Chain A
Amino acid sequence: MSNPDLSLDQLHAASRRGRVPTLVNELPRLLGILVLLVGLVLLFIGDSFSLNVLATAFLFAGLATAWNIIGGLGGQFSLGHSVFFAIGAYMTANLILGYKLSPWLALLPSMTLGAVVAALVSWPVFRLRGPFFAIATMALTEVALALAMYFESVTGGAQGLSVPFKAGLTNMIFRDRMSYAFLMLGFLAVALLIFAAIRHSRLGYALQAVRDNEETAEAAGIDVLRTKLVGMAISAALMAAGGCLYLMYVRVVDPPSLFSLFDVGVKVALIALIGGIGTTYGPLLGALLIVPLENYLRAELGGAIPGSNLLALGFILMLTALYLRRGIVGAILKLRDRSWRILR
């Protein structure tokens, strides 16, 4: 084993070779975090208010993780992800109401439609960069809202669609809040797993290269448009799955709750931004912070001064933009690096 011709430096270099984090390295941490979250749910048994907040937080953590694939890794700051979320919700509602399909079976067609629509509408929009891209995706939301109001036969128009209450696992409808908390936690787990798998794959590196420098990326052989489209399609498919679960949670969907900007499209981007854009667990942290806070603010302030909860969230976003450029996770990593340097 020992080779006298190798210097210590060369030995070090040889042992470092190929040492990059892979999905396998990430799995234990992911599992540990999920176990903690299960514990968190169990902590609140019987407290349906808190379980409600947790279920919502997990849902939004999953959605923000989905957004993070194209928004964080790919650097395409979409503010129109509510469109794919809505597609999932409407598709599922139609399949349940029209064909009596189980929501579990509606997941796959919902995700497929979300991905296909995402690829089609993104094609032209991906020619735009930076703020222009973000604005165009915002405009997409408005178009989708108009369409949803117009095509009443599919969306129920302004009234929306509602799914009758028939509790049961096959119907994905539960009497207790805890089941929903676990349902949303399952969704979050899948989203995190997919994000981590992509991040540690060739696609993940391609997305990051495109985010950092399109010209270099294509000179290195990356098909920039294709990379963005694939990232967007996967991200949108997960958003649509989230839309399906959301529908089963609230059992009503209508245009205002799906498309009013802050409710989904901007919120998922905000959560990822505050938690740490492009990091694996940033969106989760962001959601665990923002969703309970928003609930609290709406309860405490929203009643007294309408819209003040939004003001408070805007203020938090500003603070993040000013002091935590890479979100909470970025700040933690920086702290760790700094203390590491001091300790060494």
Chain B
Amino acid sequence: MTAPLLDLRSVSRHFGGLRAVDDVSFTVSDGEIISIIGPNGAGKTTLFNLLTGQLAPTSGSILYLGKDIGSLKPHHRARLGFGRTFQISQTMMSMTVLENAMVGAFLHISAVREAAEKAESKLELVGLAEHAGRRSGELTLGGRRRLEVARALAMEPRLVLLDEVMAGLNQTEVNDVLTLVEKLNAAGTTFLVIEHNLKVVRAFSKRVLVLNRGQLLAQGSADQVLSDATVIEAYIGKQQL
């Protein structure tokens, strides 16, 4: 049996007395689309930061293809195949849209022309090709989120982590991103997606993880999880389905 793509074993991260991520274990197989849901402050973003190396775990281990990556820096993990977007959209504001995407493309390409070509093709995927020459700071919030997706994709990642990438997008844009994720997934990319919109979660995710107060409350298919009494109590009671 080959090692799963990701294997989290009792991963915790404390901030002082706060257990932002508390003894979380799960595995991710190659080719999955997994949604992570949970109320505000549940620890979802912290979990992402542990996976991509922005934060180090207080305890527990994170295995990627069987190797412990817990002590690797973010740029090393990027090289291994992690691509991500940030909840608070982070673009290089003084650089153009094309240049932003190129920064991702340079991960595996050193020639400028080739990097630009790769970047441009990813911008086309997310519908930003028309804006290639504009400063990224001039984009709308939705545009900046899509640009982050393009930058992550330009890294040709094996695993993509999207942190509330749909927030601030209009319905058409949401559908476009959904279609894009499904298409890339069909081509072999694995996705971990933090998402508040449960319609979106139902639409594309076969497996859903529910975090609450740092703990993994439930996992399973969307239908299973969303009918689970503890989940409803912790989370859905406060939200519109």
Contact = CB atoms under 8 A, between A and B. Distances in A.
Contacts of B117: 17-18
Contacts of A206: 103, 106
Contacts of B68: none
B84 A219 contact: yes
A18 B120 contact: yes
Nearest to B121: A17
A22 to B, nearest CB: 6
A13 B121 CA distance: 9
A213 B155 CA distance: 17
Interface string B105-139: 01100101111110011001000010010000000
Interface string A177-218: 000000000000000000000001110011011011101111
Contact of A16 (B91, B104, B110, B132): B132
A336 to B, nearest CB: 14
Contacts of A209: 92, 95, 103
Interface of A: 13, 16-20, 22, 200-202, 205-206, 208-209, 211-213, 215-224, 278
B159 interface: no
- Chain B interface, >50% SS class: helix
B75 A222 contact: yes
Interface string B77-111: 01100011010001111110011001110110010
Contact of A205 (B78, B99, B129): B99
Contact of A221 (B75, B90, B95): B75
14 contacts: A17-B117, A18-B114, A20-B102, A201-B112, A205-B115, A213-B90, A216-B90, A216-B91, A217-B103, A219-B54, A219-B74, A219-B75, A221-B106, A224-B75
A181 B114 CA distance: 40
A223 B90 CA distance: 17
A202 B155 contact: no
Given A202-B110, A205-B103, A216 B92 contact: yes
A9 to B, nearest CB: 9
Contact of B107 (A13, A16, A200, A220): A220
Given A18-B120, A219-B78, A278-B94, 17 more contacts: A13-B129, A16-B132, A18-B117, A20-B102, A201-B112, A202-B115, A208-B94, A209-B103, A212-B92, A212-B94, A213-B91, A216-B92, A220-B104, A221-B78, A221-B107, A223-B73, A224-B75
Nearest to B129: A13
A205 B90 contact: no
A142 B81 CA distance: 45
B52 interface: yes
A2 B218 CA distance: 56
Nearest to B109: A202
Contact of B113 (A13, A18, A216, A278): A18
Interface centre among A20, A200, A217 (most CB of B within 10 A): A20
B160 to A, nearest CB: 12
A206 B91 CA distance: 13
A216 B86 contact: yes
A219 B92 contact: no
A215 B120 contact: no
A212 B79 contact: no
Contacts of A213: 90-93
Interface in B52-80: 52, 54, 73-75, 78-79
B151 interface: yes
Contact of B79 (A20, A208, A211, A221): A221
